């Protein structure tokens, strides 16, 4: 993982409970080594599969989509190409690398796909994606660049394409696309391989109306390409691909609805329902293209024969229909047929479908059964089972508080304070726990004696909410204009609490909402002076407030919204707070007076929201950071608001005094912040799940921090002894420590530059004290005197005298030290 150019290593503390994974689509790679499941919460889980036993374990969780994932598809014709494409309900498409989990390409389209079929077109080097969904065209896309290559349009009765199948007829080089609209219009396109956007529009070559509304899927038999199975919720039907005349039909079992179906062979069909069961049928003679009675008049006996049911014994009711898919893979020269199922509780079930011979089928027909014979799954697993099997079990960020039989309290909100190296965690019971982040990480990731302590690391507990803590905010982390000790929390008890972070005391409790608090925000820096001391809170009763932390009261209460609040924008220069709701309406509020200025809908509302983003991006540092006081003054006169008039007057008086202060603050904010060695981010895959935590270790920032602490404690002499001040050694170390990252190189260069400057300052200070160059002159005279004596002392007399003097000096020094010790001993006595 990399953030910008820095190397970041993530470590996830999942906790004791497995994350929710309500599976919405499922996919098995062609090498049978990776199973991919997408869920309704937007995550993708990769399962490592053993091809021989089909046993699987969850390997990683891919997070990137913001809406339920609707379909998955492969990317290349090469079997060992480990890439897939995913599409979500909001139009997002991603190309994922299944080896390292990276998202290679992402795009957001105005189209919502319900089905993607990977197909190798004639005339193309690799696979193309044929997509259909909530739109009237068929999109052909490149799976790597996610670019729309061209589209297939409808000339007759254009409508949403609800089912699609692509095939290449035998002994032909063109490709045929079968499409079925929601109103039952079958369309046929023929592609030659040279289609592009320049040759659009591409209309259908044939079309026919059939009696099939709101079809769910369509599949053509690969063995003969003469029969097509079309599935609706109430029935599935076999059609002749030549004239699309119906051959046979099967109603859905009682209290069940069909999801899809596919051909096991030319005379066998497997269909599956929303109860998670698979049904295997033998087709009648008039529905088999190889039979001489094909397309003959149907009789009562010409009905598909149900000979096997694939079901999970003692299956529990599911909260939503499962995701099921039929796969055929080739292994060791044999074709393996699998039916995959993904459940709402994160369970994966696999059936290995056996080959049933005609003699076995005849024997089954002769026996009388109350129910068709059932087949249990070959393999079944889930995230919950995987969590239970892990040794040791996954740890949570506050597991140290659960010792001694203390019941586990789910974590609902968290915030990391890098300046204080503290982690603030809100819990389900309304308590807020503050722990030292570094010590907590050591406790869970490093082995040592610290794991034997009962009350380590020390923690602080804040009690003030009644019920779940939904959100936390540390305003000083967003902007330094706020008090360093202020911590704000919002809970399910309709209250916003203001805390002293260091003493742990409750400073104030705001009770102005009529619903649980869902979000806490900080207004921009260039708002009015009064609003700058406020924070913004959003509640489930569709209300928005500005709460003054200094005044300890509600400054603005905006509570006329008819639908839930989804976005909040700011126009500080106009003193406007823009509130966007889920129905698309936009409310414009005056922050100073608290009056509703206007309500917008449709295109006007979208333009106002876009203008807010545009205003933010084009704001210059030369602005005063304050709205025009005259505007607020006249608004106060119009609404007869004395408080607004007073505040506008005060702001106009102090505007010039505040100008330089705001410019200094803006300049400080534009400076690039120093990277933190550790960052902790909360992760919740589902709103009902307890919160997990991602520990992000910035390796380069960690190295720089450790080097700074180590060399900062060393003296200039130690630095010079280790060669860190010498220019040549400095260049060697710089070359060795130079990283591919320009940020890392800059950090290390700045560090060694500071070391070099410190040594230079020390040398300059010594030279300044020796103003008359006494040390230099003494050194020169001593050298001259030494040379002259050496020239005169040819017989080495002085050398012998020097050795004798040194011996005498050693004896005298030893005698003096012994006398000194005795004297000190006597004085101490």
* Pairwise CA distance, residues 44 & 24, whole Å: 10
Q: What is the mean pLDDT of residues 784-809?
A: 59
* Pairwise CA distance, residues 801 & 471, whole Å: 85
Give the three-class secondary structure for 133.
strand
DSSP string for 435-465: EEHHHHHHHHHS-SGGGG-SS-S--EEEE--
Highest mean pLDDT among 370-379, 544-553, 648-657, 702-711: 544-553
For the chain, percent of residues with pLDDT exceeding 90? 47
**Is the predicted pLDDT of residue 667 greater than 90, yes or no?**
no
pTM: 0.75
**Is the predicted pLDDT of residue 721 greater than 80, yes or no?**
no
* Pairwise CA distance, residues 350 & 98, whole Å: 21
**Is the predicted pLDDT of residue 768 greater than 60, yes or no?**
yes
> Domain ends where: 356, 390, 424?
390
* Tally of CB atoms within 10 A around 603: 9
Which residues partner with 269 through β-bridges?
Answer: 263, 281
Question: Would you place residue 640 in the very low, low, confident or very high pLDDT band (cuts 50, 70, 90)?
Answer: low
Q: What is the mean pLDDT of residues 601-615?
A: 84
Q: Is the peptide bond before 457 cis (omega within 30 degrees of 0)?
A: yes
Total number of domains in the chain: 2
Question: Would you place residue 782 in the very low, low, confident or very high pLDDT band (cuts 50, 70, 90)?
Answer: low
pLDDT of residue 372: 84
pLDDT of residue 365: 84
Let me know if residue 325 belongs to a domain: yes
pLDDT digits (tens, 9 = 90+) for 818-828: 544 443 343 34
pLDDT digits (tens, 9 = 90+) for 138-171: 999 999 999 999 999 999 999 999 999 999 888 8
* Pairwise CA distance, residues 767 & 790, whole Å: 31
Residue scoring higher pLDDT (123 or 691): 691
> Domain ends where: 371, 390, 409?
390
Radius of gyration of the chain (CA): 38
pLDDT digits (tens, 9 = 90+) for 459-493: 889 999 999 999 999 999 999 999 999 999 999 99
Q: For 465-474, 660-669, 780-789, which range has the lowest pLDDT when averaged over its residues?
A: 660-669
Q: For 336-345, 488-497, 716-725, 808-817, which range has the lowest pLDDT when averaged over its residues?
A: 808-817
**Is the predicted pLDDT of residue 27 greater than 90, yes or no?**
yes
Highest mean pLDDT among 680-684, 754-758, 770-774, 806-810: 680-684
pLDDT of residue 462: 94
Taking Cα atoms as reference points, which of 260, 274, 243, 383 lies closest to residue 326?
A: 260
**Is the predicted pLDDT of residue 404 greater than 50, yes or no?**
yes
Q: What is the mean pLDDT of residues 543-553?
A: 94
**Is the predicted pLDDT of residue 793 greater than 60, yes or no?**
no
Which residues partner with 186 through β-bridges?
Answer: 180, 208
Average pLDDT in the chain: 82
Question: Would you place residue 458 in the very low, low, confident or very high pLDDT band (cuts 50, 70, 90)?
Answer: confident
Let me know if residue 312 belongs to a domain: no
Q: What is the mean pLDDT of residues 803-807?
A: 62
Highest mean pLDDT among 144-153, 627-636, 792-801: 144-153
Q: What is the mean pLDDT of residues 676-696?
A: 86
Let me know if residue 822 belongs to a domain: yes
* Pairwise CA distance, residues 753 & 733, whole Å: 12
Question: Would you place residue 292 in the very low, low, confident or very high pLDDT band (cuts 50, 70, 90)?
Answer: confident
Helices (H), 518-621: 529-532, 602-617
**Is the predicted pLDDT of residue 792 greater than 80, yes or no?**
no
Which residues partner with 456 through β-bridges?
Answer: none
Helices 699-712, 742-769: axis angle to 10 degrees equals 10
pLDDT of residue 651: 61
pLDDT of residue 769: 56
For the chain, percent of residues with pLDDT exceeding 70? 76
Let me know if residue 804 belongs to a domain: yes
Let me know if residue 692 belongs to a domain: no
Let me know if residue 709 belongs to a domain: no
pLDDT digits (tens, 9 = 90+) for 65-89: 999 999 999 988 877 778 999 999 9
* Pairwise CA distance, residues 482 & 496, whole Å: 17
Q: Which domain holds residue 798?
A: 777-828
* Pairwise CA distance, residues 252 & 259, whole Å: 10
Helices (H), 693-741: 699-712, 716-721, 727-737
Let me know if residue 1 belongs to a domain: no
**Is the predicted pLDDT of residue 203 greater than 80, yes or no?**
yes
**Is the predicted pLDDT of residue 55 greater than 50, yes or no?**
yes
CA-to-CA dists, residue 280 to 225, 306, 312, 354, 523, angstroms:
20, 6, 15, 11, 61
**Is the predicted pLDDT of residue 800 greater than 70, yes or no?**
no
Question: Would you place residue 385 in the very low, low, confident or very high pLDDT band (cuts 50, 70, 90)?
Answer: very high
Taking Cα atoms as reference points, which of 271, 285, 152 lies closest to residue 219?
A: 271
Question: Would you place residue 260 in the very low, low, confident or very high pLDDT band (cuts 50, 70, 90)?
Answer: very high
Let me know if residue 66 belongs to a domain: yes
Q: What is the mean pLDDT of residues 750-773?
A: 59
DSSP string for 632-682: HHHHHHHHT-HHHHHHHHHHHHHHHHHHHHHHHHHHHHHSPPPPPSEEEEE
Angle at the Cα of 662 from the Cα atoms of 658 and 663, rounded to 5 degrees: 120
E strands, 54-159, where?
A: 56-63, 69-74, 83-88, 92-97, 103-108, 113-120, 127-133, 138-141, 148-152
pLDDT digits (tens, 9 = 90+) for 163-188: 999 998 888 888 999 999 999 999 99
pLDDT of residue 507: 94
Q: What are the φ/ψ torsions at residue 327 (nearest 5 degrees)?
A: -130, 140
> Domain ends where: 362, 390, 418?
390
């Amino acid at each position: 993982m990399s953030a910008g150019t820095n190397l970041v290593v993530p470590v996830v503390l999942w906790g004791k409970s497995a994350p929710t994974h309500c599976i919405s689509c499922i996919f098995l790679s062609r090498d049978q080594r990776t199973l991919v499941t997408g869920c309704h919460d937007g995550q993708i889980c990769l399962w490592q599969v053993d091809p021989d036993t089909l046993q699987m374990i969850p390997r990683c969780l891919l997070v990137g989509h913001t809406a339920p994932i609707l379909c998955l598809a492969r990317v290349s014709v090469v079997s060992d190409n480990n890439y897939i494409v995913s599409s979500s309900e909001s139009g997002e498409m991603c190309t994922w690398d299944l080896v390292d989990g990276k998202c290679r390409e992402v795009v957001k389209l105005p189209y919502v796909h319900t089905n993607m079929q990977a197909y190798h077109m004639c005339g193309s080097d690799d696979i193309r994606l044929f997509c259909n969904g909530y739109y009237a065209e068929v999109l052909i896309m490149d799976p790597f660049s996610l670019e729309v290559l061209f589209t297939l349009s409808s000339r007759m009765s254009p409508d949403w394409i609800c089912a699609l199948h692509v095939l290449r007829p035998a002994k032909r080089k063109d490709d045929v696309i079968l499409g079925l609209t929601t109103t039952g219009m079958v369309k046929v396109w023929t592609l030659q391989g040279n289609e592009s956007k320049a040759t659009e529009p591409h209309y259908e070559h044939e079309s026919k109306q059939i009696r099939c509304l709101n079809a769910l899927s369509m599949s053509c038999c690969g063995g003969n390409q003469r029969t097509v199975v079309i599935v609706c919720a109430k029935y599935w039907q076999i059609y002749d691909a030549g004239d699309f005349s119906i051959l046979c039909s099967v109603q859905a079992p009682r209290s069940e609805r069909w999801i899809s179906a596919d051909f096991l062979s030319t005379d066998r069909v497997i269909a599956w329902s929303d109860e998670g069961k698979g049904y295997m049928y033998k087709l009648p003679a008039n529905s088999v293209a190889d039979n001489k009675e094909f397309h003959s008049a149907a009789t009562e006996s010409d009905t598909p024969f149900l000979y096997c049911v694939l079901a999970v014994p003692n299956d529990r009711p599911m909260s939503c229909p499962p995701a099921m898919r039929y796969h055929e893979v080739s292994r060791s020269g044999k074709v393996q047929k699998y039916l995959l199922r993904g459940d709402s509780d994160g369970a994966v079930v696999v059936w290995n479908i056996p080959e049933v011979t005609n003699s076995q089928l005849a024997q089954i027909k002769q026996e009388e059964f109350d129910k068709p014979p059932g087949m249990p799954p070959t393999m079944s697993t889930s995230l919950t089972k995987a969590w239970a099997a892990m040794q040791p079990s996954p740890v949570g960020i506050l597991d140290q508080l659960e010792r001694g039989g203390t019941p586990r309290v789910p974590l609902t909100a968290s915030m990391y304070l890098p300046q204080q190296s503290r982690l603030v965690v809100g819990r389900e019971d309304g308590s807020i726990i503050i722990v030292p982040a570094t010590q907590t990480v050591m406790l869970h990731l490093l082995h040592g004696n610290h794991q034997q302590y009962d009350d380590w690391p020390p923690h602080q507990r804040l009690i003030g909410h009644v019920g779940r803590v939904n959100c936390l905010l540390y305003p000083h982390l967003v902007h330094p204009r706020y008090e360093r000790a202020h911590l704000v929390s919002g809970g399910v008890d309709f209250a916003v609490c203001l805390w002293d972070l260091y003493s742990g005391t409750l400073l104030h409790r705001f009770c102005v909402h009529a619903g649980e608090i869902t979000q806490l925000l900080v207004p921009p820096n260039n708002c009015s002076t009064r609003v700058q001391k406020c924070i913004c809170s959003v509640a489930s009763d569709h209300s928005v407030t500005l709460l003054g932390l200094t005044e300890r009261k509600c400054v603005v209460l905006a509570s006329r919204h008819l639908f839930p609040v989804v976005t909040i924008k700011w126009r500080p220069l106009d003193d406007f707070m823009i509130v966007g709701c889920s129905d698309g309406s936009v409310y414009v509020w005056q922050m100073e007076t608290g009056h509703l200025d206007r309500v917008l809908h449709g295109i006007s509302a979208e333009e106002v929201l876009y203008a807010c983003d545009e205003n933010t991006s084009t704001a210059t540092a030369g602005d005063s950071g304050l709205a025009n006081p005259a505007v607020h003054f006249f608004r106060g006169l119009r609404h007869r608001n004395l408080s607004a008039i007073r505040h506008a007057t005060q702001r106009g008086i102090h505007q010039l005094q505040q100008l330089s202060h705001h410019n200094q603050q803006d300049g400080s904010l534009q400076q690039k912040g120093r990277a933190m060695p550790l960052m902790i981010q909360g992760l919740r895959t589902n709103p009902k799940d307890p919160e997990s935590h991602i520990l992000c270790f910035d390796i380069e920032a960690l190295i720089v921090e450790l080097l700074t602490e180590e060399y900062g404690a060393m003296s200039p002499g130690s630095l010079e002894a280790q060669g860190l001040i010498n220019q040549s050694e400095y260049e060697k170390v710089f070359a060795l420590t130079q990283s591919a990252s320009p940020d890392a190189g800059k950090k290390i260069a700045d560090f060694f530059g500071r070391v070099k400057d410190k040594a230079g300052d020390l040398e300059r200070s010594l030279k300044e004290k020796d103003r008359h160059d006494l040390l230099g002159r003494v050194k020169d005279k001593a050298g001259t005197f030494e040379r002259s004596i050496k020239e005169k002392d040819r017989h080495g007399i002085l050398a012998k005298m020097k050795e004798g003097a040194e011996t005498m000096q050693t004896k005298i020094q030893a005698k003096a030290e012994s006398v000194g010790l005795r004297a000190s001993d006597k004085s101490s006595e």
